[in-house]
Structures are given as structure tokens and as C-alpha cells.
Amino acid sequence: MAKKKRPAKKKPAKKKPAKKKLAKKKLAKKKLAKKKPVKKKPAQRKTTVKQTKESGLALPYFAASIEETSLEDNGETCSFCGAAGALDEYSVKEQIQGSAWVAAGQPREGQVCLDCIRAGRVEYLHKVEWGELTATGVQGNSVRFPYILKGHDKEAVAAGERLLAKIPASAVKELRRTPPFRAWQGAEWLIHCDDFMCFIGVWGQDEFATHSKDPERLYQEMLGDRLDLEYGELFGPHSEVTLYAFRCRHCDRLRGYIDGA
């Protein structure tokens, strides 16, 4: 598979420590912003988007900062509802994993705001653990790559695809309305308890230390079978990989995976 860079924001990337401070400020703003009444007049729509930018996305499968997406107010109006502050460009030419697609009868390409993404006017065909979303549901990786059912880990593949098949249609619909997080080789949603897990952000040493007195052990538990880099290597001076963290919506289990350039 062709390697792809973790797509960057248009703005030059800030150094990590500065970004963390910013995130804390955003959290404080979130608390203040929460009490404001939600207004629905068209003129207020931009405010809705702005608040979302400050407070992060609070979606069933995406509980990280909006900075983790490629969504950004691009100064255009939404092609669907005309609201100012459209966040994403889409084009039906890009019907590939992680890209938006639109149903028949909708504008074929244009700009979309977060409200319209949430309304399902543009949807995303994500890669998921053991497979991918399709326009109608999910399919296991073996549909496209039948040889994996004959490989050395065929039992794991078959078991994983059985888990994927148990995920209800309502969950698939919700994930299609969830924007992807920025990832080196495309966002992939992990699964647990017959559901997709909620993406909670990119984790570094601080996050592991916050969640456990034994960060290395937590790392090993979270990565499980996907552990191919030791904790010290991941956060070592030459590391060029990123760890994406997820929480199960049913049992709170934490999992994650790493990928890199």
C-alpha cells in the first residue's frame, strides 16, 4: 500500500508543548462556553462552528480536539446550507477511504460545514479494524484481499471479521457521519464490545502517565497484538510515529495503534 503523509493543517505546525498549553486554554474556554444558550438563527451558525473549534468534537466516535481532524474554517460558505464557516472540501472524485462522499442528488463537489456532516449530507468511508466501511455497511479485508484467509494468521483474520460483522447498522451509520482524524496512513477505527471505539486523541508520554502509574504496562495492554515497538522506542529521540488512542464506549477499555511515515 502506498504510504501517505499524515496530512498537515494549512497553518504551520506548532511545537508540541505549546499546543498542549493551548489545549488547556481550550478546555477552560469549553467550561465557560457551555453555559451559553444555543441559538439557531442562521447568523449564529458561525458561532456554533467556532464553539466547536474551541471545545473540540464531542461525537460518539470522536472525543478529541477538532485540531486532530483536517477540518478548518476555510472562509467559504457551506454548499448545502449556505452557512458561513464551512470546514471541509469534498469531491465525489475522491471516493476513497477517509474521504467524503455524497449521495445522489446532492451537489457533486463543494464545501461542507460540521452541522451538515452531522446531518449525513456528506459521509466518510473509513477504514476500520479488520475491514472498511462501504456505502451500505461494512466489509472484511478478505473481500478485497482473499489471500489473507490463507495466510499464517488466517484464524485471527476470520475471528476479527466475525467481530466486525456483529457491529449494528446504527453504529455504521454514525461512524460514516464522523470526520476522520489526521493519520499518517489514513484513520482506522478500532473495535471493542461489538462497536467501534471512540477516538480520544494522539497520546504521548504525558497521557500514559496521567492514565496509569505504570505507563509502559498500559502501553502494552493498549497495543496488544499490534505491539511492534517498545514503549522506550516509541518515545525515543528518533521516533517518527504517532499513537492514536481509543476508549470503548461500553467497558471503558483503552486501546490504540501506532503508525508512521
Residues lying near Zn ion in the complex (CB under 5 A): 78, 80-81, 83, 113, 116, 192-193, 248, 250-251, 253
CB atoms inside a 10 Å sphere around CB 18: 9
Q: Are 164 and 138 in contact (CB under 8 A)?
A: yes
**In the block, which residue shows the cell 472524485?**
93
Rounded to a whole number of angstroms, the minimum distance from the CB of residue 192 to Zn ion is 4
Nearer to Zn ion, 148 or 245 (CB): 245
Angle at CA of residue 153, ends 168 and 159, nearest 5°: 25
Q: Which CB, 80 or 199, lies closer to Zn ion?
A: 80
Closer by beta carbon to Zn ion, 184 or else 196: 196
Q: How many CB atoms lie within 10 A of CB 256?
A: 25
Closest approach, Cβ 86 to Zn ion, in A, equals 7
Closest approach of Cβ 37 to Zn ion, in Å? 21
Indicate the residue among 176 and 192 with the shorter CB distance to Zn ion. 192
Which residues, in sequence order, are CB contacts of 247 under 8 Å at separation 6+? 63, 197, 198, 200, 253, 254
Least distance in Å: CB of 184 to Zn ion?
26
Give 184 or 244: the residue with its C-beta nearer to Zn ion.
244
CA distances from 230 to 211, 215, 247 (A): 18, 12, 21
CB of 81 to Zn ion, least distance (A): 3
